[in-house]
Chain A
Amino acid sequence: MNSNTENKFLTMTASPHIKSPIKTRNIMADVVIALMPALVWAIYVFGFRALTITAISVVSCVAFEYLYRKLMKKSNTISDLSAVVTGILLAYSLPVSTPLWIPIIGSFFAIVIVKQLYGGIGKNIINPALAARVFLFVAYPTELTAFTEPGKYLSPFAVNVSKAASDITAGATPLVDLKNGIIPDADITSTLIGNIPGTIGEVSATILILTGIYLMIRKVITWHIPVTYIATVALITLVLPLGNAGGVSFMLLQLFSGGLMLGAFFMATDYVTSPATSVGRIIYGVGCGLITVFIRYFGGYPEGVSFAILIMNLFVWYLDKATKPKAFGGAKK
């Protein structure tokens, strides 16, 4: 509303009249920055095909968001960069040998079905990248479980990796061995730095921890979810190891060889699908940890991070409601 005074229109709005310069776009940009070192490492370990898949995933996520909003005559939201983050995270949860058209299908599922059909940013109830990853995992089980040996570079541009090339795949991550109660050959050091088979973005545990800390310093995320998530997994795998593997090395491999670090720092902390209270975040983190270990121990799959986070996504509203802080000056609960 404006009013005319001395040839001048004054803005009439309710207080407050100033706002923080930090917007959704800045936050998403910080997440993108934090995800870049892991990409550099992925290119080093798996070759430029890692970059190709990431680029395809990002471009198609942004494109689907743009097209959907345009088609539905809604405001254009691609500038908030959330679709870029989804694209990167989706690519990071795929093996490098994935056929190049798979990330496009995943992007469609993530952006259109999980995010936009619910109303766009902030309205989805589960994490788009994770949901898409699980969808692809169910739809293309062979492609999504073929893991390449580090250092064996695949063609960056071949749509489908040739049969000959897939022969060089390792077939299993250390998690498969761990599931059978066996300590795999991979030593702790190469697991920590990420010189192991795995998805594009999950292998570099050290880099993911450091960039996760960067996000905490930048106040993009709080410590509650990653710390409680990782601590829960650490505690259970240390106290109750599977089979007779036992010991600290079993725990360390559990922590560093799967998607735990990527999930704990970058996926479980997704604002939209995690609680807004500190206590809620702690319970959520512990829940993610418990479900992850249960799936890894007793489930049908060697990896449980994606499912654990998706399941906990569904509890966000209840956790927020149950951990609602006592109002200042309000009656005790």
Chain B
Amino acid sequence: MLKTFKGGLHVNDNKNTRNCPIENFPSPAKVAIPMQQHIGAPAQPLVAKGDYVKKGQLIGNFETGLSCPIHASISGTVADIEMRNSYTGYGKTAHIVIENDYTDTPDDNIKTFDGDIFTATSEEIVELVRRAGICGQGGAAFPTYAKIQSAIGKASEIIINCAECEPYITENHRLMLEEPEKIIGGARILMHATYTEHMTIAIENNKMDAVEVMTKNTAEYENISVQVLKTKYPQGDERQLMYVIKGVELPAGKLPADVGCVIFNAETCVSVYNAIYEGMPLISTVLTVDGDAVNTPKNLRAPVGTRISDILDYCGGSTDNLSKIVSGGPMMGQAQWDMNAVVMKNTSAFLFLSDKTQSNDEGDCIHCGRCVGVCPMHLMPNYLAAFSKKDDKVLAEEFGILSCVECGSCTYICPGNVPIVQYIRTTKGAILAEKRKAAQKAKESEAKS
């Protein structure tokens, strides 16, 4: 029997694009590159309107804190620097708009790493990864260089997350089939940089062809193993991954490194590989285009900054009943409000969904306990939602609302159509805001006395 975790969902995985090879998206006429695509401080634009930029050129940076450099994904002229609302909740963000000159002129700084990367020091690799603008391409977009730093001296196990538990998305699956040597090559560099002793490549058992490819490609390495996981949402969550692979429960408020693990997404490894062996910073990403309202589902490798409308045109347009566009998976992705949203470094999918899949009439909780059964954090979402409805923050906290990872399993399973995780998010946010305020106050009064 495959090892698994308690709770979770068996969702129709809708991996319709599993047999769609990754196509290179033709260079778009225009891109709009956001200065914030990562956790941390936004990058500051380094170019001005009218400047000519080359492909791979550094166009945004912020050196003095946790941040991630941003590069031009095409060559051409800076048409504008616009302040736009971020499509992923970062607030107003500068977008550098570049008009394509279709020459694909590479930046002069693009060169491959000279010599054997496995003799390089951690510091050198950290710097190379930082300069390449690499951030986690699975979800949260945490700057990869900072993650390497946090793992050094603490982690002994490196986990490559190829679980891909969100329905629809097949980009990691395709990468494993088409570019296994890049995932493994990049992962080995990260392993070298983090001084980890053992690597586990974690794959759900709905991708057995990928398991085969990855097993074959890692056969020569004794310290790398491929772990097959039961297909269950949210298996790709790092807590559930570590629980299944290492048998450890990550204590609330701790980082994976605190229990000896460091986890990277499969595509992040590909980006590391590209940065070292091809010298190319992170300027394009692989994404799945699917959903019941798109005419031709595909897997694409598209430049960062490509608009959704361009992607949709390339995929044959949408059907008339298009109702919602989601960036990311259907369980945790974000709805987009218009077609000007762009591909970002961590974009894994654009889903075009019809009205059929929508049902937002809130019903009543019948206390069936299904949400309790599926909660991977072992909470009681039914009560958390009820307390949230009454704005009872004390009981909500007593029932562990702050442990919620917002995976959405409860809302998915609820037969009463209660937007459980949505209620929880609101109250959790309010509690955290109160705590921040209190901490701030305490700090101020301390400073005064």
Q: Is the CB of B415 within 8 A of A327?
A: no
Q: Counting CB contacts under 8 A, is A213 at the interface? A: no
Q: Is the CB of B333 within 8 A of A17?
A: yes
Q: Is the CB of A13 within 8 A of B324?
A: yes
Indicate whether A8 sits within 8 Å of B322 (C-beta atoms), given known contacts A272-B367, A320-B380, A327-B403: yes
Q: Counting CB contacts under 8 A, is B133 at the interface? A: no
Q: Is the CB of A10 within 8 A of B326?
A: no
B376, closest chain A residue (CB):
A328
Neighbour of A271 across the interface among B251, B359, B369, B425, CB < 8 A? B369
Q: Is the CB of B369 within 8 A of A16?
A: no
Residues of A within 8 A of B167 (CB): 18
**Contacts of A71-115 to chain B: CB distance below 8 A:** 77, 80, 82
Residues of A within 8 A of B335 (CB): 10-15, 17
Indicate whether A24 sits within 8 Å of B359 (C-beta atoms), given known contacts A16-B332, A17-B335, A320-B383: no
Residues of A within 8 A of B377 (CB): 327-329
Q: Is the CB of B415 within 8 A of A27?
A: yes
Residues of A within 8 A of B419 (CB): 14
Q: Counting CB contacts under 8 A, is A217 at the interface? A: no
Q: Is the CB of B368 within 8 A of A271?
A: yes
Q: Is the CB of A5 within 8 A of B415?
A: no
* Interface-central residue, A11, A13, A15, A325, by most chain B CB under 10 Å: A15
Residues of B within 8 A of A17 (CB): 324, 326, 330-331, 333, 335, 351, 353, 357
Interface string of B404-443 (1 = CB under 8 A from A): 0010100111111101011001000000000000000000
Interface string of B318-346 (1 = CB under 8 A from A): 00001111101011111111111000000
A109, chain B: closest CB distance, angstroms: 21
Q: Is the CB of B330 within 8 A of A18?
A: yes
Q: Is the CB of B252 within 8 A of A15?
A: no
B339, closest chain A residue (CB):
A5
Indicate whether A324 sits within 8 Å of B412 (C-beta atoms), given known contacts A10-B338, A276-B367, A277-B369: no
> Once bound together, how far apart are the Cα atoms of A24 and B368, in whole Å?
9
**Contacts of A279-326 to chain B: CB distance below 8 A:** 316, 320, 324-326
Neighbour of B252 across the interface among A80, A316, A324, A329, CB < 8 A? A329
Q: Is the CB of B364 within 8 A of A329?
A: no
Q: Counting CB contacts under 8 A, is B82 at the interface? A: no
Q: Bin the interface of chain A by size.
A: 35 or more
Q: Is the CB of A20 within 8 A of B413?
A: yes
Q: Is the CB of A26 within 8 A of B324?
A: no
Q: Is the CB of B416 within 8 A of A122?
A: yes
> Once bound together, how far apart are the Cα atoms of A15 and B309, in whole Å?
22
Q: Counting CB contacts under 8 A, is B177 at the interface? A: no
> How many residues on the B side are at the interface (Cβ–Cβ under 8 A)?
64
Q: Counting CB contacts under 8 A, is B382 at the interface? A: yes
> Once bound together, how far apart are the Cα atoms of A13 and B422, in whole Å?
9
Q: Counting CB contacts under 8 A, is B399 at the interface? A: yes
B101, chain A: closest CB distance, angstroms: 27
B382, closest chain A residue (CB):
A276
Q: Counting CB contacts under 8 A, is A6 at the interface? A: yes
Q: Is the CB of A15 within 8 A of B408?
A: yes
Residues of B within 8 A of A6 (CB): 309, 339
Indicate whether A16 sits within 8 Å of B408 (C-beta atoms), given known contacts A23-B415, A325-B380: yes
B339, chain A: closest CB distance, angstroms: 5
Residues of B within 8 A of A8 (CB): 322
Residues of A within 8 A of B249 (CB): 328-329
Q: Is the CB of B322 within 8 A of A24?
A: no
B324, closest chain A residue (CB):
A11
Q: Counting CB contacts under 8 A, is B213 at the interface? A: no
A21, closest chain B residue (CB):
B12
Q: Is the CB of A14 within 8 A of B359?
A: no
Q: Counting CB contacts under 8 A, is B226 at the interface? A: no
> Once bound together, how far apart are the Cα atoms of A27 and B365, in whole Å?
13
Indicate whether A276 sits within 8 Å of B412 (C-beta atoms), given known contacts A11-B323, A17-B357, A18-B331: no
Residues of B within 8 A of A123 (CB): 364
B165, chain A: closest CB distance, angstroms: 13
A228, chain B: closest CB distance, angstroms: 16
Q: Is the CB of B368 within 8 A of A276?
A: yes
Residues of B within 8 A of A277 (CB): 369, 372, 380
> Once bound together, how far apart are the Cα atoms of A328 and B374, in whole Å?
13
**Contacts of A27-56 to chain B: CB distance below 8 A:** 27
B400, closest chain A residue (CB):
A327
> Once bound together, how far apart are the Cα atoms of A324 and B384, in whole Å?
12
**What are 5 A-to-B residue pairs whose CB atoms are below 8 Å?**
A3-B338, A77-B364, A121-B366, A276-B372, A327-B400
Beyond A6-B309, A19-B359, list 10 extra A-B contacts (CB 8 Å): A10-B323, A11-B358, A13-B360, A14-B425, A15-B328, A17-B330, A24-B363, A27-B415, A330-B378, A331-B252
Q: 3 closest Cβ contacts across the A-B interface? A: A276-B369, A16-B408, A5-B338
